[in-house]
Structure 1
Amino acid sequence: MPPLLVALFLLHSCFPQGDGHLREGLTLLKTEFALRLYQSVAAGRNGTNFVISPAGVSLPLEILQFGAEGRTGRQLADALGYTVQDQKVKDFLHAVYATLPNCSQGAEMELACSLFVQVGTPLSPCFVEQVSWWANSSLEPANLSEPNATTIPANAGASRQTAGEGPVGSPGEQVGATSAQLALVSTMSFQGTWRKRFSPTDTKLLPFTCAHGLVLQVPMMHQTAEVNYGQFQDAAGHQVGVLELPYLGSAASLFLVLPRDKDVPLGHIEPHLTASIIRLWTTSLRRARMDVFLPRFRIQNQFNLKSILNSWGVTDLFDPLKANLKGISGQDGFYVSEAIHNAKIEVLEEGTKASAATALLLLKRSRIPVFKADRPFIFFLREPHTGFVFSIGRVSNPLN
């Protein structure tokens, strides 16, 4: 059975049994999407830092599903593993997105999508209505066919609080096409306050061994705390430690995945990550009192999703001769010209600058287990109620 049929069968088999089973099925599919996205990005970045938001990538694809038909629609469903054309899926995801602003106690999460549409293009009223209430999304007019068009701001949508607000622009690359076009810009950002904050006075310069063996002195945060922790094996038998650090208000948790063997690179673990493994790890952690060492880091990336989606078989969407987006506009040749994604994450001691590292190094505590992220690690930001992964990435060098 093709992967799409398997995914859709898994999802539909959950429907008759209630929202709990629907949530479980969607969580597995969205986690699989997140890991596939992570693995696609990791394969092309040669051990460097990155963060990408599966939620920020899936959001515009979901919006396009409202208007995609035929093979274009099937390719999108194959990439996502589900379709928002199903009323139960649509209602459930809409409810999830509607609660995101309520997760702001101690955490700031922003998920937005701007769809820039060629000026004068007739749009389906049904599609316009769908976009107006789907997450933090908006339609913006733009002149996409001019060779000397200005650029869409890289952070378009990042500061938007309600649909319809924000700057108007056009895509960065000179398209120069005469067909009607659509450009998508999605953005996800997160900054949260730890449930148990790291003290800036405990941050010291400690060694961090990068992917290629370079040893750097980096600001390393520290705390002794009751945390959720577990030790596991991946499908290839590699041992990993998994630590959960919750944010204030239980809006989200940051999970850290660290190879226990310092000689095992992340590249040996990344290909074996699956949704089932992530579910096992996140549900099997146990409370433990530990010394936690975590480097401060800030990562911001911009990606052209077109190349990633093309590698997944989503090709018709970007082809003016093949795209079938008649549910968006009945105009022939309507297609997606650009798909740009921005994501960022900042991890520090509640935003306070650390003092100079002039004190003695922290004492070792022989009877308390230690989680020390002093080498490359994987992180993912997970919403606890749905289990959705909102961002995922890798830290190879905290100073970059």
Structure 2
Amino acid sequence: MRPALALLLLLLPSCLPRARGGLREDLGLLRTQLALRLYRDAAAAPGNGTNVVISPAGVSLALEILQFAAQGDTARQLVQALGYSLHAPQVSASVHSAYAALHSPGRGPRVELACTVFVHPGAAVSPCFVERVSRWANSSLQPAPPRETHGPPTSSGERRGGGGRGGGPAGPESGRAEVAWARLALLSTMSFRSAWRRGFAPADTQPLPFAGGRGLVLQVPTMHQTAEVNYGQFQDPAGHQVQVLELPYLGSTASLLLVRPRDKDTPLSHIEPHLTASVLHTWMSSLTRARMDVFLPRFRIENHFNLKPILSSWGVTDLFDPLKANLKGISGQDGFYVSETIHKAKTEVSEEGTKASTATALLLLKRSRIPFFKADRPFFFLLREPDTGFVFSIGRVSNPLD
């Protein structure tokens, strides 16, 4: 075993296949696993019964930033949640080079990925920590505005769980912790913009039925093209038949993976529990080129999550406790804890370059001898960059009009 991979492989779950390409591929598998875990927890949150999107790349970035500061049990919990440690030099170098490749100039996708660390005013921060954060994927530190006015949103769960505004324990000690401990708030953001390798013609977009949940049938703007795509039909571990389609973006550096049940009577919820990094890796490696009619509804999803409950359920608890958090990497002293971790993500899929269409032509749907992929009922999607393994967005579309 290569020494550089020793820590990483100890943390790799046994369900993941061993990648043949070394460290970069191992990290890619870990990113896919993290994406699926985040998606399931976000989709299970109250109020997320229809469309869901979350950016695993943005969440990973926030956890990486925190690794620069964490020590002791706080660091151990972060490493276990993320799956790798940036204190391993070759792991750090590989992740950093992936971010550099992500922002390299060219005709590929435009990706804006950043994490802002809001620091309590007056808190001492070491220049070394400031430099490490500012060099990591366009991230930065900023003084936190007053919480009573323009600060990051306050979690209601924090008040319920802690009793004090800072999230510390209720009682006489909470007031002292409020003064002695400085807060951190993290805001991670991700936006992705790119043209399709082969664009959808606006004139070919027309209202078509989309079978939502509970028997609801909607008329939604549906794009169409006939093109060479990557396609496959597979069986998940439970025996459900699924269709998988991959649509490449300009430059072939990113692609949108669509997964839906082949049988219209099989709900998407029956497929999702069986999606794993290993299963998706096998499917993506087995796709073949095919000329197909592709029907895909336009959709736009934007979600806003407080990651604190999700990370806490993963065992990252000390980070949010003002009496247990060990973030000495910030200033060399105790005195910091994380009060909020806010995550925003949005994904918009439309015809290339189209903002508003005035086309009146309709596509006549006729029987064809070539196969077709029609996303006319709830589907799962994964927006990824194969070379680096970044998963920019993961989610589901249950109602394209929502």
State the TM bucket, normalised to the shorter chain: 0.7 to 0.9
Structure 1 residues 355, 330: CA separation in 2 closer, same or farther (over 3 Å shift)? Answer: closer
Structure 1 residues 284, 103: CA separation in 2 closer, same or farther (over 3 Å shift)? Answer: farther
User: Aligned residue for 2:314?
Assistant: 312
User: Aligned residue for 1:21?
Assistant: 22
Q: What are the within-5 Å matches in structure 2 for residues 352-391 of structure 1? A: 352-353=354-355, 355=357, 358-391=360-393
Distance apart, 1:102 and its partner CA: 2.1
Q: What are the within-5 Å matches in structure 2 for residues 267-346 of structure 1? A: 267-346=269-348
Whole-Å separation in 2 of the counterparts to 1:204 and 1:183: 44
Which one of the candidate residues 154, 170, 175 is aligned to 1:173? 154
Whole-Å separation in 1 of the counterparts to 2:247 and 2:147: 48
Deviations 1:35-89 (A, max 9, x none): 1111111222553101111000010110111111111111111111111111111
Q: What are the within-5 Å matches in structure 2 for residues 110-125 of structure 1? A: 110-125=112-127
User: Aligned residue for 2:216?
Assistant: 214
Deviates more, 1:259-268 or 1:84-93: 259-268
Deviates more, 1:296-305 or 1:134-143: 134-143
Distance apart, 1:124 and its partner CA: 2.7
Structure 1 residues 187, 253: CA separation in 2 closer, same or farther (over 3 Å shift)? Answer: same
Distance apart, 1:211 and its partner CA: 2.1
Asked if the contact 2:8–2:85 (Cα under 8 Å) also holds between the matched residues in 1, the reply is no
Question: Sequence identity of aligned pairs in percent?
Answer: 69
- Moved segments of 4+, more than 6 Å: none
Deviations 1:309-337 (A, max 9, x none): 11111111011011111111334331001
Which one of the candidate residues 107, 132, 135 is aligned to 1:133? 135
Which one of the candidate residues 46, 49, 69 is aligned to 2:71? 69
Asked if the contact 1:103–1:251 (Cα under 8 Å) also holds between the matched residues in 2, the reply is no
Distance apart, 1:191 and its partner CA: 1.8
With normalisation by structure 2, the TM-score equals: 0.87
Deviations 1:273-330 (A, max 9, x none): 1111111111110000100000000111110000111111111101101111111133
Structure 1 residues 198, 73: CA separation in 2 closer, same or farther (over 3 Å shift)? Answer: same
With normalisation by structure 1, the TM-score equals: 0.88
Q: Secondary structure at the match of 1:55?
A: helix
Whole-Å separation in 2 of the counterparts to 1:275 and 1:90: 22
Deviates more, 1:357-366 or 1:370-379: 357-366
User: Aligned residue for 2:236?
Assistant: 234
User: Aligned residue for 1:97?
Assistant: 99
Tell me how large the CA RMSD over aligned residues is.
Answer: 2.3
Whole-Å separation in 1 of the counterparts to 2:142 and 2:207: 47
Whole-Å separation in 2 of the counterparts to 1:321 and 1:10: 28
Which one of the candidate residues 248, 251, 255 is aligned to 1:249? 251
Distance apart, 1:19 and its partner CA: 10
Q: Secondary structure at the match of 1:99?
A: helix
Structure 1 residues 226, 103: CA separation in 2 closer, same or farther (over 3 Å shift)? Answer: farther
Q: Which runs of 5+ in 2 are unaligned?
A: 1-5, 156-164, 167-177
Whole-Å separation in 1 of the counterparts to 2:70 and 2:389: 28
Q: Which amino acid aligns with 1:94?
A: H
User: Aligned residue for 1:40?
Assistant: 41
